[in-house]
């Protein structure tokens, strides 16, 4: 399954709309029910309206009625590894505070989880 998620995250990064940063990101989110939702970053001329790949995948899943997640794989099309931005960490944590997260770049991998990426999360 992890191989499939990596493949799907890489595939999603090909759809990234990143004319401003040139930084392409793909995400593949596995739900507890066994579905995979993918996402890419979608930039905007008004930079602040950009949506990251992780949030795209979460919003797609939630809008399709899925709120229980098993694993998130993020692919950054870069030699260096990057971890999710603060906004994405908060959005992911809303649904899963301990979600396993695998981050892949062209040259590096990181296995982590939301507990490590956003400890003491804000959740009502
Ligand atoms: N980006 C993501 O898609 N995910 C992250 O976790 C960090 C940043 C995107 C947003 C923007 O399109 C580009 O990467 C550069 O910030």
Q: CB neighbours (10 Å) of residue 91?
A: 17
Helices (H) and strands (E) in the chain, counts: 4, 5
Do the domain assignments include residue 122? no
Do the domain assignments include residue 47? yes
Enumerate residue ranges in the chain where pLDDT < 70: none
Pocket of ligand 1 (CB under 6 A): 18, 21, 23, 25, 41, 43, 50, 52-54, 84-85, 88
20 Cα nearest atom in ligand 1: 12
What is the model's pTM? 0.97
Do the domain assignments include residue 89? yes
Active site residue: 3, 7, 43, 54, which one?
54
Do the domain assignments include residue 13? yes
CATH code: domain of residue 57: 3.40.140.10
Do the domain assignments include residue 50? yes
Number of domains in the chain: 1
What per-residue confidence (pLDDT) applies to 24? 98
What per-residue confidence (pLDDT) applies to 23? 98
Which residues constitute the domain of residue 43?
2-117
What per-residue confidence (pLDDT) applies to 45? 98
Whole-angstrom distance, CA of residue 73 vs CA of residue 6: 6
């Amino acid at each position: 399954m992890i191989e499939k998620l990596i493949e799907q995250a890489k595939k999603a990064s090909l759809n990234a709309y990143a004319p401003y940063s040139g930084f392409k990101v793909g995400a593949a989110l596995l739900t507890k029910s066994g579905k995979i939702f993918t996402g890419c970053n979608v930039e905007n001329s008004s930079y602040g309206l950009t949506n990251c790949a992780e949030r795209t995948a979460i919003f797609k899943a939630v809008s399709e009625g899925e709120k229980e997640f098993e694993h998130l794989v993020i692919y950054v099309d870069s030699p260096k590894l990057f971890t999710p931005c603060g906004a994405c960490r908060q959005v992911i944590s809303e649904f899963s505070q301990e979600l396993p997260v695998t981050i892949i770049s062209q040259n590096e991998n990181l296995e982590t989880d939301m507990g490590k990426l956003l400890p003491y999360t804000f959740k009502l």
